[in-house]
């Protein structure tokens, strides 16, 4: 415990005042605490070798929140005893938080988010639902960016609900100075599995992000899940884009 | 069997139409200082005095002093700041300024589409018509509660603005909201709510709201009971215990940035249980909401957040993400002012 506190104190001591928060609502699966600028639009489109993926658009609400709408296949489900397969779930999310150094020097960015499913299609699972609420902190330490938090997840299938259960969230991004546009990324998160009774399983991801353009990045990653063999790991290709509005004088005070 | 669940069905079109219509109202009114369109013919003035130093026919570069364009008034009319009549779901102690039109349209992940339209009356009152999706129903106590929508209500609120009577006086409103009768699943239901709420700014960036509500509701089956009076009995919230009708609600607003506000409120909503025992047929359920309001433009605000119906039996799966757009317009006020 003392070692953990020492490391945390050292990281805080290393922290420099951040000029602006990075962009990106998630590492791979785990959410980050970065929030888009007021009026900024963000989009993420991902696909893996199975044809599953995600498509999400977001909007920066006043510089202190973000609302997201989209669909993804993070939730697995099955109406039988075989291995669960990916379910396309429409999901919306709302996140509110504070930027790095907003309240005091060295503080990480923090975000409180809620995600809720609202539509499902193209599968045999009856009435799948998944919601989670998380609190996550993110800090840019220069070479590395760390993310840590806790997630309360709840899911239901065919009228059977599971109570909310707490799970940790963690993410790490390494930005080697010799490759200023590339970063190594990895995260750990939990996702629901809706086979019979709803359960939770971890999802571990590791990959590379390349900042191809000032407003767009490409990610290539591998994700493994608790209830799947290592051979069933998926290779994910993802594109992220962010458009910031032009900055008229009246809006500069918001940032 | 393939399952396909979709929301945003018929109500979505209505909501979209409301948004577009309100946006048109908000923007169609030209600014008071705008000049008339140049293609509108004007009658020559017969009463205008002749110019003393009329230079006669103009030749290259000369300008007729009688038609020298006057410098345009660039000063824009000072608009009063609008304090919104609702936090997220609960009323505030603030009223819309006189003649101001207000329209809010919302959608959420539970499939709800609602609209709220109001007009400020003389700085002392407000009238509105709205649809709400907060009223819920369930067949039995064990069933999951579902919303009844659209549930149309009309409201009238009157009150005194903040600091109007004396310094540090909070804004106070007395409001009454009543629904039209709603027939759904073989039952007729109605709701009514009388609210008294006070709102106070604490500095420029924080505001608090606190109030009390007296609720009433009625539930009656449409099916006649065999062998008895053809009219089935009507169950009401009143007539039992005032404690079942009176609830306290409140809200909090913080403005960390000039155009962004964080909003939290706790309100109540009626729930009908058709198959429950008589005392439990109508219940008031607490509802917690939090979110952010962002001023996109002077006339347009975006709000988004999370709403948890029946926070007393908290279930994360019931949490709804909502998004709503609010338009405010001074068009009616300007039109009235122009008649004076």
The tens digit of pLDDT for each residue in B51-84 reads 445 555 555 555 555 555 555 544 566 777 799 9
- What pLDDT sits at residue B47? 42
> Cβ distance B176 to B156 under 8 Å?
yes
pLDDT-wise least confident of A192-201, B120-129, B288-297: A192-201
Q: What is the CATH number of the domain that holds A135?
A: 2.40.160.40
CB neighbours (10 Å) of residue A129? 23
- What pLDDT sits at residue B49? 44
- Across the interface, which of A114, A156, A161 has its CB nearest the CB of B319? A114
Predicted confidence (pLDDT) at residue B189 exceeds the cutoff of 60: yes
Instruction: Please report which confidence band the pLDDT of residue A66 belongs to, taking 50, 70 and 90 as the band edges.
Output: very high
Q: Residue A88 belongs to what domain range? A: 2-252
- What pLDDT sits at residue B142? 84
The tens digit of pLDDT for each residue in B132-182 reads 999 999 988 888 888 898 899 999 999 999 999 999 999 999 999 999 988
Residue at B138 is within a domain: yes
Q: Is A129 on the interface with B (CB under 8 A)?
A: yes
Average pLDDT over residues A211-234: 90
Q: What is the CATH number of the domain that holds B293?
A: 2.40.160.40
- What pLDDT sits at residue B36? 44
- What pLDDT sits at residue B56? 54
Q: Is B169 on the interface with A (CB under 8 A)?
A: no
Residue at B69 is within a domain: no
The tens digit of pLDDT for each residue in A100-158 reads 999 999 999 999 999 999 877 656 777 888 999 999 999 999 899 999 999 999 998 88
Sign of CA dihedral A4, A5, A6, A11: positive
Torsion of CA B33, B37, B38, B44, to 10 degrees: -80
Residue at B72 is within a domain: no
Average pLDDT, chain A: 86
The CA-to-CA distance between both ends of chain B, in Å, stands at 67
Residue at B35 is within a domain: no
Chain A residues near residue B296 by CB distance under 8 angstroms: 39
Residue at B282 is within a domain: yes
Q: Residue B212 belongs to what domain range? A: 81-339
- What pLDDT sits at residue B42? 42
pLDDT-wise least confident of A8-17, B45-54, B191-200, B242-251: B45-54
Average pLDDT over residues A25-37: 94
Instruction: Please report which confidence band the pLDDT of residue B117 belongs to, taking 50, 70 and 90 as the band edges.
Output: very high
Q: Is B315 on the interface with A (CB under 8 A)?
A: yes
Residue B81 C-alpha, separation from nearest chain A C-alpha, in angstroms = 17
Q: Is A167 on the interface with B (CB under 8 A)?
A: no
Predicted confidence (pLDDT) at residue B108 exceeds the cutoff of 70: yes
The tens digit of pLDDT for each residue in B16-54 reads 555 555 555 555 444 444 444 444 444 444 444 444 455
Average pLDDT over residues B239-258: 91
Predicted confidence (pLDDT) at residue B333 exceeds the cutoff of 50: yes
Do the chains contact at A61 and B302, CB–CB below 8 Å? yes
Q: Is A39 on the interface with B (CB under 8 A)?
A: yes
pLDDT top residue among B321 and A162: B321
- What pLDDT sits at residue B153? 96
How many domains are contained in chain B?
1
Q: Is B165 on the interface with A (CB under 8 A)?
A: no
Average pLDDT over residues B92-119: 95
Predicted confidence (pLDDT) at residue B234 exceeds the cutoff of 60: yes
If you measure CA to CA, which chain A residue comes closest to B258?
Answer: A254
C-alpha B312/C-alpha B287 separation (Å) is 8
Strand partners, A68: A58, A93
pLDDT > 70 fraction of chain B, expressed in percent and rounded: 75
How many domains are contained in chain A?
1
Residue at B49 is within a domain: no
- pTM: predicted TM-score of the whole model, two decimal places: 0.80
Strand partners, A54: A46, A72
> Cβ distance B82 to B326 under 8 Å?
no
Average pLDDT over residues B271-280: 86
**ipTM > 0.90 (yes/no):** no
Instruction: Please report which confidence band the pLDDT of residue B90 belongs to, taking 50, 70 and 90 as the band edges.
Output: very high
Q: Of A221, A244, A199, A227, whose CA–CA distance to A54 is shortest?
A: A221
C-alpha A239/C-alpha A45 separation (Å) is 5
pLDDT-wise least confident of A111-125, A160-174, B159-173, B312-326: A111-125
Cis preceding linkage at B150, omega within 30: yes
pLDDT top residue among A10 and B81: B81
Predicted confidence (pLDDT) at residue B231 exceeds the cutoff of 60: yes
C-alpha B144/C-alpha A159 separation (Å) is 9
């Amino acid at each position: 415990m003392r070692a953990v506190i020492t490391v945390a104190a050292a990281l805080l001591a290393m922290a420099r005042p951040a000029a602006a928060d990075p962009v990106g609502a998630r590492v791979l699966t785990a959410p980050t605490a970065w929030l888009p600028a007021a009026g900024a639009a963000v989009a993420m489109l991902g696909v893996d070798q199975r044809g599953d993926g995600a498509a999400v658009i977001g909007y920066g609400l006043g510089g202190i929140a973000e609302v997201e709408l989209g669909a993804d296949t993070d939730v697995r489900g099955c109406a039988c005893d075989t291995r669960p397969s990916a379910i396309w779930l429409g999901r919306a999310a709302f996140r509110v938080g504070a930027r790095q150094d907003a309240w005091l020097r060295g503080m990480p960015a923090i975000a409180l988010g809620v995600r809720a499913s609202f539509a499902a299609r193209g599968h045999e699972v009856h009435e799948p639902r998944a919601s989670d609420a998380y609190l996550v902190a993110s800090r840019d330490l220069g070479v590395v960016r760390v993310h840590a938090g806790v997630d309360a997840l709840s899911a239901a299938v065919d009228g059977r609900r599971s109570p909310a259960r707490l799970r940790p969230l963690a993410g790490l991004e390494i930005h080697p100075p010799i490759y200023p546009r590339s970063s190594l990324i990895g995260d750990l998160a939990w996702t629901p599995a809706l086979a019979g009774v709803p359960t939770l399983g971890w999802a571990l991801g590791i990959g590379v992000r390349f900042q191809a353009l000032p407003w767009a990045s490409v990610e290539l990653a591998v994700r493994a899940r608790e209830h799947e063999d290592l051979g069933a790991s998926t290779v994910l290709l993802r594109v992220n884009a962010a458009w910031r509005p032009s900055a008229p004088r009246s809006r500069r005070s918001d940032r | 069997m393939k399952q396909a669940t979709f929301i945003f069905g018929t109500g979505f079109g209505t909501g979209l139409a409301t948004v577009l219509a309100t946006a048109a109202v908000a923007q169609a009114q030209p600014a008071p200082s705008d000049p008339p369109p140049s293609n509108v013919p004007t009658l020559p003035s017969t009463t205008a005095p002749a110019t003393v130093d009329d230079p006669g026919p103009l030749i290259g570069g000369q300008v007729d002093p009688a038609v020298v364009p006057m410098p345009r008034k660039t000063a824009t009319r000072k608009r009063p700041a609008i304090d919104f009549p609702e936090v997220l779901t609960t009323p505030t102690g603030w009223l819309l300024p006189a003649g101001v039109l207000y329209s809010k349209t919302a959608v959420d992940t539970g499939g709800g589409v609602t609209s709220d339209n109001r007009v400020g009356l003389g700085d002392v009152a407000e009238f509105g018509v709205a649809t709400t999706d907060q009223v819920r129903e369930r067949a039995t106590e064990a069933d999951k509660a579902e919303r009844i929508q659209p549930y149309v209500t009309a409201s009238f609120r009157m009150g005194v603005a903040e600091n109007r009577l004396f310094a540090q006086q909070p804004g106070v409103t007395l409001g009454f909201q009543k629904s039209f009768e709603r027939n759904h699943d073989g039952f007729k239901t109605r709701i009514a709510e009388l609210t008294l709420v006070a709102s106070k700014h604490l500095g420029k960036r924080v505001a608090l709201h606190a109030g009390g509500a007296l609720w009433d509701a009625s539930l009656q089956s449409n099916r006649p009971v065999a062998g008895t009076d053809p009219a089935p009995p009507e169950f009401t919230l009143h007539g039992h215990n005032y404690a079942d009708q009176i609830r306290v609600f409140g809200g909090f607003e913080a403005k960390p940035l000039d155009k962004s506000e964080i909003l939290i409120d706790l309100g109540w909503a009626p729930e009908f249980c058709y198959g429950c025992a008589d005392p439990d047929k109508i219940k008031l359920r607490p509802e917690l909401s939090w979110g952010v309001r962002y001023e996109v433009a002077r006339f347009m605000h975006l709000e988004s957040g999370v709403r948890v119906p029946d926070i007393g039996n908290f279930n994360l799966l019931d949490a709804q993400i909502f998004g709503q757009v609010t338009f405010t317009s001074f068009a009616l006020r300007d039109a009235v002012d122009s008649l004076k």
